[in-house]
Amino acid sequence: MKKPLRLVVLLSGDGSIFEAIVEAIEAQRLNAEILMVMSDNPNAYGLTRARLHNLNTHTINVKEYSDTNAFQRALKEALVTLKPDFIVLSGFMRILAADIIQAFPKRILNIHPSLLPQYPGLHTHERVLAAGDKKHGTTVHFVDEGLDSGPIIAQRELTILPEDTAESLQQRVKELEKVLYPEVLQRLADRL
Ligand code: GAR
């Protein structure tokens, strides 16, 4: 049996995709362990989900630091100490400092709700609708120093329906993400 992938998860909000990763581990579809769930937001529901699964949590509240550099330094220190195989961004809504990215080359993954390279940044569901696109989806990619620009690992797409709204697309994309992210991580676990 291969060693489980050692993961640290970073999230800012609801954490539903993170919970799908946890469920894949619990169902033994994903050979991984979550060392820590970290958040920049003390009120993130993802932290509650983590505690309900008896996972370690750590909040680095940006408001408690004198500036973003001090916040990023604290984040880096925590990540370096944990020595994860991969850092998994799952709805983490901050840009990581360049020296964090350089400390973990090809070791930081992100899931982004669009078919990158289309629609990096925010409000992707609104933007595909405004553009009249026929396809939408999600991308897992390695994080580099650009905005949602690192090498793409995998994508899943859906066909936009006439009745779709930004909210329905958000939900439908999340359903794809709940399957895709654990699958990608398992591929990395096989490789390690
Ligand atoms: C996911 O749809 C993810 O793709 C997106 O946030 C959502 C998190 O959902 N990520 C980004 O927009 C990153 N820029 P969750 O909090 O329910 O897991």
Tell me: pLDDT of 138 over 90: yes
- Over the range 97-125, which residues count as b (16 or more CB within 10 Å of their CB) and which as e? beebbeebeeebbbbbbbbbeebeeeebb
Domains of the chain: 5-191 (3.40.50.170)
Residues with active-site annotation? 112
pLDDT in tens, 48-89: 999 999 999 999 999 999 999 999 999 999 999 999 999 999
CA of 143 to the centre of ligand 1 (A): 15
CA of 191 to the centre of ligand 1 (A): 26
How far apart are the CA of 155 and the centre of ligand 1, in A?
Answer: 14
Predicted TM-score (pTM) of this structure: 0.97
- Residue-wise pLDDT for 152-181, tens only, equals 999 999 999 999 999 999 999 999 999 999
C-alpha torsion sign, points 87, 93, 94, 95:
positive
Ligand 1 pocket by Cβ (under 6 Å): 13-18, 90-91, 111-113, 138, 173-174, 177
Q: Is 75 exposed, middle or buried (0-12, 13-18, 19+ CB in 10 A)?
A: buried
Residue nearest (by alpha carbon) to ligand 1 atom 7? 91
d(CA 60, CA 63): 9
| Helical residues (DSSP H) of 27-97, grouped into ranges | 45-52, 68-82
Amino acid at 86: F
